[in-house]
């Protein structure tokens, strides 16, 4: 996300070395280089494979920087009686402490909010993974102490009170910070206490399944008044959306009537945009939530034919990536590890097996991420492209198209649309969808209707998609909508 770049002037050299060791990991020792003058150089094929794997990782790694680089706040707590867990988002701490009696935790949280407010941010490069902590250029925010300092007197402690906008402000900090608790043991210093948590502390990009929703909504809160063009969409996410769009459209083409099919194949692929203003929609007020997780399609006249365009909000595709980080357990540290193994292999200090193992792991990470991204957004793309098919007009019919497309491509449905759009409509955060109460009830109705669509069978997708035109608008047509 953002990082404050300050010199690590006071960090002990051993501390930096420990962080480096945690990120690099341990590898097997290669046999020593043979003294024989006829020893062969490392094979070109292995080196090329490793370099190709590094090239493939530039995409997901760049997206990690743009979306999930979060500053660490290390909180030293004495004793084991605290109600906060060892690793939390700021909003989770807020929920645990708000409107309760003053405590050492609330005192430290006040300090955190002050430090977070005063921090200056600059975003890391979109295309290069930046290990600020590893390279010694970024210090975490340190709160509290294990070094025997006296705790503040009770009179100095203040509780956390909630005002009209406090919760929303704290939510945005989830996208920028991660709180890591270090529990002080008997006679432990800050340094020795931190060593036991080093692996977790070194991972800026960790997204647990329990924090995915909070982090996704924090992204929306962070950009709630930002025009789409001001919300970064890393190149990797653009590429994955474009690839999915073309694959989904190729499947939909199979279902078109013969006359429409012959016309459509001569047209270019539908265009994809992450900027709603390109869709020619009415201007949206500055203070209005900008449809954080919206998507829609539109057909515009283009001379004698039609130009198809699909819009996905930047936050939607960013949310898909955040969820994939959690579900695939994408390992950011594999990139520097592979670089080191490759360098040592070329110097004759690592075996070919070491390099092959590191290359295989790095490429496997990317393959899982690519698959997860497709599973997350294919239903949404199928829904929007479904509107371009003859007879598919209602939202329910388009849901049907998305359902069968996702089922054909992945054997599942409907990806992020259910886990984000439908579930968000049922939550108190539904206004992040920029919808009114009627639209909210319609989304909930569509979610229930989706479960009635037929399951997978032996028919080809081109035989199933035409059935979607007959789906009744039970949720979005006022005559059918259930009050």
Q: What is the DSSP string of 12-49?
A: -HHHHHHHHHHHH---PPPPPPPS-TTPPPPPHHHHHH
Q: Which of 125, 369, 122, 70 is nearest to 239 (CA)?
A: 369
Residue listed under structure tokens 């950011």: 332
At 138 the pLDDT is 58
Contact 10, 138 (CB under 8 A): no
Query: What is the DSSP pairing of strand 87-88 with strand 177-184?
Result: antiparallel
Residue listed under structure tokens 């989904």: 248
408-421 tens-digit pLDDT: 888 766 778 888 88
At 187 the pLDDT is 52
Query: Please, which residues have CB within 8 angstroms of residue 128's CB and are 6 or more apart in sequence?
Result: 58, 61, 62, 65
pTM for the full predicted model: 0.82
Weakly modelled stretches of the chain, pLDDT under 70: 1-42, 79-81, 119-139, 148-149, 186-193, 195-202, 257-267, 281-291, 300-306, 412-413, 455-457, 480-483
215-237 tens-digit pLDDT: 998 988 888 888 888 898 999 99
């Amino acid at each position: 996300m953002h990082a404050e770049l300050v010199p690590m002037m006071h960090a002990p050299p051993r501390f930096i070395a420990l962080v480096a060791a945690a990120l690099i990991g341990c590898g097997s020792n290669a046999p020593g280089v043979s003294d024989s003058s006829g020893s062969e150089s490392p094979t070109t094929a292995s080196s090329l494979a490793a370099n190709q794997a590094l090239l493939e990782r530039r995409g997901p790694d760049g997206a990690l920087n743009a979306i999930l680089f979060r500053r660490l706040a290390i909180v030293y707590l004495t004793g084991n009686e605290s109600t906060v867990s060892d690793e939390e988002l700021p909003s989770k701490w807020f929920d645990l402490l708000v409107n309760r009696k003053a405590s050492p935790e609330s005192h430290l949280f006040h300090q955190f909010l002050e430090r977070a407010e005063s921090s200056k941010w600059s975003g890391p490069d979109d295309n290069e993974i930046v290990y600020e902590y590893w390279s010694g250029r970024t210090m975490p925010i340190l709160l509290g102490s294990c070094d025997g300092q006296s705790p503040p007197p009770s009179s100095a402690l203040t509780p956390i009170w909630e005002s009209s906008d406090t919760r929303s402000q704290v939510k945005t900090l989830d996208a920028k910070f991660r709180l890591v608790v270090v529990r002080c043991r008997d006679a432990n210093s800050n340094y020795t206490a931190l060593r036991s948590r080093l692996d977790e502390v070194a991972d800026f990009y960790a997204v647990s399944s329990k924090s995915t929703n909070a982090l996704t909504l924090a992204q929306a809160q962070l950009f709630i008044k930002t025009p789409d063009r001001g919300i970064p969409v890393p190149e990797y996410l653009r590429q994955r959306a474009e690839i999915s769009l073309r694959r989904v459209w190729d499947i939909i083409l199979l279902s078109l009537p013969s006359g429409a099919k012959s016309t459509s194949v001569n047209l270019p692929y539908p265009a994809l945009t992450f900027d709603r203003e390109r869709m020619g929609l009415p201007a949206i007020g500055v203070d209005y939530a900008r449809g954080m997780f919206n998507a829609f399609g539109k057909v515009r006249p283009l001379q004698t034919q039609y130009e198809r365009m699909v819009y996905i909000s930047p936050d939607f595709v960013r949310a898909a990536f955040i969820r994939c980080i959690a579900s695939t357990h994408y390992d950011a540290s594999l990139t520097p590890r592979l670089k080191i193994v490759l360098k040592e292999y070329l110097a004759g200090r690592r075996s070919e097996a070491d390099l092959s193992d590191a290359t295989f792991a790095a490429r496997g990470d990317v393959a899982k991420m690519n698959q997860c991204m497709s599973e997350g957004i294919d239903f949404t793309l199928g829904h929007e492209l479904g509107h371009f098919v003859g007879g598919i007009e209602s939202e329910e019919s388009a849901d049907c198209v998305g359902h069968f497309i996702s089922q054909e491509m992945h054997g599942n449905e409907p990806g992020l649309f259910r886990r984000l759009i439908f579930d968000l409509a049922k939550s108190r955060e539904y206004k992040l969808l920029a919808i009114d109460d009627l639209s909210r009830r319609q989304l909930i109705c569509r979610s229930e209707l989706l479960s009635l669509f037929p399951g997978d069978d032996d028919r080809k997708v081109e035989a199933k998609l035409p059935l979607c035109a007959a789906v009744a608008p039970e949720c979005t047509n006022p005559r059918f909508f259930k009050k």
